[in-house]
Amino acid sequence: MSGYSGHRMSPWFWWPDGTHVYLAEGIRKAVREAGFNTPVVIAGKIREPKHAEEILKEGKADIIGLCRPLLCDPDWPLKTKEGREKEIVRCVACNWCLEADSRYEKVNCDRWPQGSMNAPEPFLTKMARPGQFKKENL
């Protein structure tokens, strides 16, 4: 997760959601025009199921790569599949996890209850910490 590529795939909270989608779209277009069907993966601050679905439906990418959203709430895909999007504990893109990984420390999420080394099971929104940044910055 760390290093240059880690910082590119994990944009901070002040970057727009889906900040790299245009790159995946351009790559996918070039790959298809060259006659290949190689799937193109997009990652980088795609935190909402609706946003992920739009990217796929619009043909901008073939696969959504989720790292921080799954670290924050491992049940993100299940909650989405079951229509429980309101129950997803959302990643706030604070990069607490990325910074810990960059220091070779154990990685956890700032949204988890204090002292937790794993997301609680089940992880409910009322259990989530607000994260280290104020809501108006998200």
Query: Which H or E element spans position 64?
Result: strand 63-64
Average pLDDT of span 36-59: 96
| Mean of the per-residue pLDDT values of the chain | 88
Say if residue 77 is preceded by a cis peptide, omega within 30 of 0: no
Tell me the C-alpha distance between 103 and 36, whole Å.
39
In tens, the pLDDT along 50-100 reads: 999 999 999 999 999 998 999 999 999 999 999 999 999 999 998 888 888
Contact residues for 27 (Cβ-Cβ < 8 A; gap 6+): 40
pLDDT for 78:
96
Contact residues for 35 (Cβ-Cβ < 8 A; gap 6+): none
Domain boundaries, the chain: 3-131
> pTM, whole model, 2 decimals?
0.82
Phi-psi region of 28 (alpha: psi -120 to 50; beta: other; left: phi over 0): alpha
Q: How confident is the model at residue 137 (pLDDT cuts 50, 70, 90)?
A: very low
